[in-house]
Amino acid sequence: MGLHDLSDLPYPWDSIAGITATARSHPGGLIDLSMGTPVDPTPDVVRRALEAASNAPGYPMTAGTPALRQAVAAWFARRRDVPGLDPAAVLPTIGSKELVGLLPALLHLGPGDVVVHPGVAYPTYVAGIRAAGATPLATDDVADWAGRDDVKMVWVNSPGNPTGRVLDVEALRVVVDAAHAIGAVVVSDECYAELAWEAPWADDGVPSILDPRVCGGSHEGLLAAYSLSKQSSIAGYRAAFLAGDGALIADLTQTRKHLGLIVPAPVQAAMTAALSDDEHVAAQRETYGARRRALAAAVVDAGLVIDGSEAGLYLWVAAPDGRSGLRIAEWFAERGILTAPGHLYGDDTHTRVALTSTDAQIADAVSRLTEA
């Protein structure tokens, strides 16, 4: 059985041609706040490591170098309150999008299996579930799937894209307990964990699914996915990893070895350097924080409402008059600002405004919104 046909699943950004044309026709030019694609230069500490590892005649290790696996375990202990992670329970991935897309199939799921994903979500969860031939179930309510023996996997995404909402320890524990009861695997996509803005997350950190307060110290049936794309401005490197249940990681590593799903050696070296340096992450966070403050104030001054958005790289924007997300996105587009209407994520009442643009473009967006 091959990957299932996705030809009837529209690629999200292909479906906003109308507002893209409107935004593009603005005399001041287009400001693209529709995608979370980093624009700041890759930090020197990361680039130097990539360059130093550029002599790479041999095949890299699918499982990751010992130095990289060690750096991931140390990062979990230092940054995520997850002590004692076994470096063998780590697997680098070629960015996290391929992982999100392939994981249901790599976990041997298929027709008849149900995979839960967040009610309003990054579209690749559904693409990957459908590619495996499994059935997606969009819900944030554990009661919708607790006790069901056809549910084999549960995606959680905290901080969430597009909503910016964070799941606390208790909410994660409820998911873990319900999944354990039916033998389902919980996979937690935590790629915005270093970008928390509001209390308590900004000071205390965003809880990981592997946090002992969530899982009692056992990682059985649990996987955390993390990406360096945003925290280190290296989306172009394709650098991410998975960690957690050692048996699942061993099985996934074996399959990925056979298939050649390997992170290039220079990227593994760059990841090791990035995960060992907290300074550039703090600086990047400051940069996004300043953009967020400026944009958020302008959005609110323009009479719009920001929901969620406690963490992550987006403002999740609604209108007090209940206008649809597409109408709000059109309003932005008339000012030359392209945003991502919520229907791309399964919500008709918001548009998503990304913080990933240069300071100059954000300042331009703020002045266009202020004129509004």
Ligand X SMILES: Cc1ncc(COP(=O)(O)O)c(C=O)c1O
Residues of this chain that interact with ligand X (CB under 6 A) are 36, 95-97, 100, 122, 157, 161, 189, 191, 227, 229, 235, 240
In the complex, the smallest distance separating the C-beta of residue 38 from ligand X, rounded to whole angstroms, is: 9
In the complex, the smallest distance separating the C-beta of residue 156 from ligand X, rounded to whole angstroms, is: 10
Phi, psi of 148 (to 5 degrees): -85, 125
What is the C-alpha to C-alpha distance for residues 35 and 338, in angstroms, rounded to an integer?
Answer: 9
In the complex, the smallest distance separating the C-beta of residue 137 from ligand X, rounded to whole angstroms, is: 18
What is the C-alpha to C-alpha distance for residues 294 and 226, in angstroms, rounded to an integer?
Answer: 28
In the complex, the smallest distance separating the C-beta of residue 100 from ligand X, rounded to whole angstroms, is: 5
What is the C-alpha to C-alpha distance for residues 372 and 335, in angstroms, rounded to an integer?
Answer: 8
Q: Which is nearer to ligand X, 232 or 324 (CB)?
A: 232
Q: Which is nearer to ligand X, 13 or 146 (CB)?
A: 13
In the complex, the smallest distance separating the C-beta of residue 233 from ligand X, rounded to whole angstroms, is: 11
SS (H, E, C) the chain: CCCCCCCCCCCHHHHHHHHHHHHHCCCCCCEECCCCCCCCCCCHHHHHHHHHCCCCCCCCCCCCCHHHHHHHHHHHHHHCCCCCCCHHHEEEECCCHHHHHHHHHHCCCCCCCEEEECCCCCCHHHHHHHHCCCEEEECCCHHHCCCCCCEEEEEEECCCCCCCCCCCHHHHHHHHHHHHHHCCEEEEECCCCCCECCCCHHHHCCCCCCCHHHHCCCCCCEEEEEECCCCCCCCCCCCEEEEECHHHHHHHHHHHHHHCCCCCHHHHHHHHHHHCCCHHHHHHHHHHHHHHHHHHHHHHHCCCEEECCCECCEEEEECCCCCCHHHHHHHHHHCCEECEEHHHHCCCCCEEEECCCCHHHHHHHHHHHHHC
Q: Which is nearer to ligand X, 62 or 232 (CB)?
A: 232
Q: Which is nearer to ligand X, 281 or 369 (CB)?
A: 281
What is the C-alpha to C-alpha distance for residues 276 and 65, in angstroms, rounded to an integer?
Answer: 14
In the complex, the smallest distance separating the C-beta of residue 174 from ligand X, rounded to whole angstroms, is: 21
Q: Which is nearer to ligand X, 319 or 353 (CB)?
A: 353
Q: Within its chain, how far is the Cα of 245 from the centroid? A: 20
In the complex, the smallest distance separating the C-beta of residue 229 from ligand X, rounded to whole angstroms, is: 3
Q: Which is nearer to ligand X, 36 or 133 (CB)?
A: 36
Q: Which is nearer to ligand X, 205 or 212 (CB)?
A: 205
In the complex, the smallest distance separating the C-beta of residue 186 from ligand X, rounded to whole angstroms, is: 15
Q: Which is nearer to ligand X, 22 or 62 (CB)?
A: 62
In the complex, the smallest distance separating the C-beta of residue 55 from ligand X, rounded to whole angstroms, is: 26
Q: Which is nearer to ligand X, 187 or 265 (CB)?
A: 187
